[in-house]
Structure 1
Amino acid sequence: MVIHYKCPNCGDDMVFNSETGTLSCGACGRQDNIEDFSEENIITTFEEDEAKEYHCENCGAVLITEAETAATTCSFCGAGVVLADRVSGTLAPAMVIPFSISKEQAGAAFKKWCRNGLLTPKDFMTANRIKNITGMYVPFWIYDLNSKVQVSAVGTKVRTYTKGEYIYTETKFYDVYRDINLDYLKIPVDASTKMNDELMDKLEPFPYDQLKEFKTPYLAGYIAEKYNYDDKELLPRAKDKIDGYIESYIKSSVSGYATVNYKRKDINVKKVHSSYVLLPVWMVYYDYNKTEHIFAMNGQTGKVVGKPPISKGKVAGWFGGVAAGTFVSLKVVSMLMGGGFW
């Protein structure tokens, strides 16, 4: 099933407006609250074979999509469509964080971010080489996890004191036990095979107070993917993401000792709850030096992640400056101490 959102005023296509949070018509300017949008203005098309081929109700063109695509735009007329069968039933997201940054704002923010690169080539910072900016709702599973930790260790405290002509070192040994219960809420893991996991992890945090009950109009005008992995398959990754926090908490709970020798450390992490959500990401494709560089931007916070090209000249100059500064510092210290340094 293909869903088009038609303007009740003029019949043109409507898309989600990230600035106003409404379903908006670009032709006549009408804006509708998503909660109040009438189903009478939703045009749907059903196909016998709903795997990959759909028809655009707007112009009749055939839309060939990958099996993971949940929302897209018609390549012929530009109409935004939602493939409803891919966001319904077991594939239906529970929640969505809508875009709050428009495409124009994303482009301006990315150019500003480029100018902040201290070691990027000068023409990378100044040239307008943006090839494409695509707004995409990326599928994530977010987990509520509980970890129960039992720790057994031996801690030492060392005291040094002087008595008469002798210096004494006193070491006391302590049995240390900890029984810890930790809860971690909304641990995100991206569920798309297409997305770079490292990029998606660096986009965090997302403002989860902006989560809204999923409704298909939020997808209108954007690309959306359905998940490739279910919550059971991604649970190990979610657990891995909190390993460092658990270890840090254990370490903080046994502070105050000179040394700590762990005899037993039992960590049991369980899933309390998981939800399938769609999170907003602007994908920025940037051409530079005959190479395409891919960056990602958090569609709510504007945070940009990615690896820009590095200027070898700037790197050499930076290290040269550090080396020169170190040389001068050593020269001054040497002169103050009455010596020389060459």
Structure 2
Amino acid sequence: MVIHYKCPNCGDDMAFDSDSGRLTCHSCGRQDRIEEFSEDFITTTFSDEDAHEYHCDNCGAILITEAETAATTCSFCGAGVVLGDRLSGALAPAKVIPFTISKEQAMAAFRRWCKNGRLTPKGFMTADRVKGITGMYIPFWLYDLNTKAKVSADCTRVRQYTSGNYIYTETKHYDVYRDIDLNYVKVPVDASKKMNDELMDKLEPYDYSHLKDFKTPYLAGFIAEKYNYNDEELLPRVKAKIQKFIDSYISSTISGYTTVRYRSRQIDTKKTSSHYVLLPVWMVYYDYGKAVHTFAMNGQTGKVVGKPPISYGKVAQWFGGIAASTFIALKLISLMMGGEIW
């Protein structure tokens, strides 16, 4: 099933505009609120052919897609299409955060980010080697979790004091027990096998107060992926993701002691709910040094993450500058104290 959104004025294809938050026709400039867009101007085409083959309703071209693709653009006429059968039933997202950063704004933010790289090669900082930039809705699961922890530990407080000619050390022993109940809300984990997990984690945070009920027009003009992993399959990963926060909280409740030795730590984390959502990401592909470097930008906040190439010459200069500064500081201290340093 292929879905097109036709302009009521001129009949051209409409796409979601991140600046206005509306369906926009780039031919005549008409804008419509997504909630009020008439179904009379939504064309739907069904195909009985292979599940990965669709036809563009705009020009008739065959759309060959990967199994995970839920929204794309026709490579012949450029029309934005949504593959509705991949967004229905169990595959239907509950919520979506629409793009708030346009392609032009994303490019400008990426150029600024490149120029801030103190240790990147000089040619990289010009940001004129962008091979491609793609707006994608990435599938995530948002988890609400509850953790119950029962912790027991042997702790000590040690103090020293002087009385007369003697120095005394006093050690007090404590039997510490904690019964902890923690709740975590909207913990995100990306559900696409294509995406680099570390890259997606670093895009956080998103402002989840801007989550909207999912409607297919938000996807028009962008690429969207459907999930590869369900919420049960990703549960171990989300538990591992919050473990460091659990450990940190437990430690914060057992503070003020000289030593802490845990006797037992019983930690039980359970899922209370999970929601399938689509989050906006600009993927930037940058051609430099005979290699393509991949960066990701949060489509809501503009945060850029990725690993730029490093200029080893600049790194050597940077460390050389630190060494020189340290030498000068030691030289001045030595002279003030009447000595020399070589």
TM-score scaled to structure 2, two decimals?
0.99
Partner residue, 2:30: 30
Distance 1:206 1:85 in 2: 28
Q: Deviations over 1:173-220 (max 9, x none)?
A: 001010000000111000001101110000001110110000000000
Distance 1:159 1:67 in 2: 66
Q: Deviations over 1:207-241 (max 9, x none)?
A: 10110000000000000000000000001110011
Change (3 A) 1:127 1:142: closer
TM-fit CA distance, 1:289: 1.6
Distance 1:290 1:170 in 2: 66
Distance 1:15 1:254 in 2: 54
Partner residue, 2:41: 41
For the aligned residue pairs, the C-alpha RMSD in angstroms reads: 0.8
TM-fit CA distance, 1:126: 1.5
Distance 2:35 2:106 in 1: 26
Partner residue, 1:298: 298
Partner residue, 2:133: 133
2:316 counterpart of 1:316: yes
TM-fit CA distance, 1:263: 0.3
Q: In the alignment, is the contact (CA less than 8 A) between 2:6 and 2:43 conserved in 1?
A: yes
2:104 counterpart of 1:104: yes
Instruction: Return 5+ residue gaps in structure 2 as ranges.
Output: none
TM-fit CA distance, 1:50: 5.3
Runs of 4+ deviating beyond 4 Å: none
Q: Classify the secondary structure of the residue corresponding to 1:232.
A: coil
Partner residue, 1:69: 69
Partner residue, 1:82: 82
Q: Classify the secondary structure of the residue corresponding to 2:232.
A: helix
- Number of residues paired by the alignment? 342
Instruction: Return 5+ residue gaps in structure 1 as ranges.
Output: none
Q: In the alignment, is the contact (CA less than 8 A) between 2:157 and 2:172 conserved in 1?
A: yes
Q: Deviations over 1:128-184 (max 9, x none)?
A: 111111000000001000000111001111121111110100000001010000000
Distance 1:308 1:187 in 2: 28
Partner residue, 2:230: 230
- Map 1:136-285 to 2 at 5 A: 136-285=136-285
TM-fit CA distance, 1:106: 0.3
2:57 counterpart of 1:57: yes
TM-fit CA distance, 1:123: 1.4
Distance 1:110 1:157 in 2: 52
Distance 1:108 1:168 in 2: 66
Partner residue, 1:328: 328
Distance 2:49 2:276 in 1: 26
Letter in 1 for 2:181: N
TM-fit CA distance, 1:328: 1.1
2:6 counterpart of 1:6: yes
TM-fit CA distance, 1:327: 1.1
Partner residue, 1:118: 118
Q: In the alignment, is the contact (CA less than 8 A) between 2:18 and 2:100 conserved in 1?
A: yes
Q: Deviations over 1:271-311 (max 9, x none)?
A: 00000000000000111121111100000000000011111
Q: In the alignment, is the contact (CA less than 8 A) between 2:114 and 2:127 conserved in 1?
A: no
Distance 2:66 2:242 in 1: 33
Distance 2:230 2:129 in 1: 37
Q: Classify the secondary structure of the residue corresponding to 2:301.
A: coil
TM-fit CA distance, 1:336: 2.7
Letter in 2 for 1:328: I
Distance 2:173 2:159 in 1: 12
Q: Classify the secondary structure of the residue corresponding to 1:231.
A: coil
TM-score scaled to structure 1, two decimals?
0.99
Distance 1:203 1:188 in 2: 11
Letter in 2 for 1:98: P
2:92 counterpart of 1:92: yes
Q: Deviations over 1:83-132 (max 9, x none)?
A: 00000000000000000000000000000000000101111112411111
Distance 2:325 2:49 in 1: 69
Q: Classify the secondary structure of the residue corresponding to 1:233.
A: coil
Change (3 A) 1:226 1:319: same
Letter in 1 for 2:336: L
Distance 1:64 1:100 in 2: 29
2:19 counterpart of 1:19: yes
Q: What percentage of aligned pairs have identical amino acids?
A: 72
TM-fit CA distance, 1:18: 0.3
Distance 2:158 2:128 in 1: 62
Distance 1:329 1:138 in 2: 51
